[in-house]
């Protein structure tokens, strides 16, 4: 299992467009990917559940990646976060 801890740097926060793009990125992999904030956790494929986490500027999130391609998936997800959020 790979774990990514990340602090949101985008002043707008984690809004609809990057959520959709991140879900699309996650679907490229076979691993199970989840996202959590303050103990609330959901799969990285459920748009409305992610939106409901209400992730804002400077919030800390944790993404877990577990599966056969977890190393590659975690690297891609981390790169996405650093580029977009």
Cα–Cα distance measured from residue 80 to residue 61, given in angstroms and rounded to the nearest whole number: 14
Cα–Cα distance measured from residue 24 to residue 34, given in angstroms and rounded to the nearest whole number: 14
**First CA to last CA distance, the chain:** 23
Strand order, beta sheet including 40-43: 2-7, 60-66, 32-37, 40-43
With cut-offs at 50, 70 and 90, classify the pLDDT of residue 85: confident
Mean pLDDT of the chain: 95
pLDDT in tens, 12-44: 888 899 999 999 999 999 999 999 999 999 999
- Residues 7, 60 contacting (CB under 8 angstroms): yes
Look up 15 and say whether it is catalytic. yes
Question: Which of 15, 27, 41, 52 is an active site residue?
Answer: 15
What domains are there in the chain, each with its CATH number? 2-84 (3.30.1340.10)
For residue 14, the model assigns a pLDDT of 87
């Amino acid at each position: 299992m790979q774990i990514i801890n990340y602090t949101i740097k985008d002043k707008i926060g984690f809004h609809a467009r990057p959520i959709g793009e991140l879900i699309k990125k996650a679907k490229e992999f076979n691993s199970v990917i989840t996202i959590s904030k303050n103990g609330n956790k959901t799969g990285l494929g459920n748009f409305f559940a992610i939106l409901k986490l209400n992730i804002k500027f400077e919030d800390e999130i944790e993404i877990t990646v577990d599966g056969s391609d977890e190393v590659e998936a975690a690297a891609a997800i981390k790169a996405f976060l650093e580029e977009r959020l």
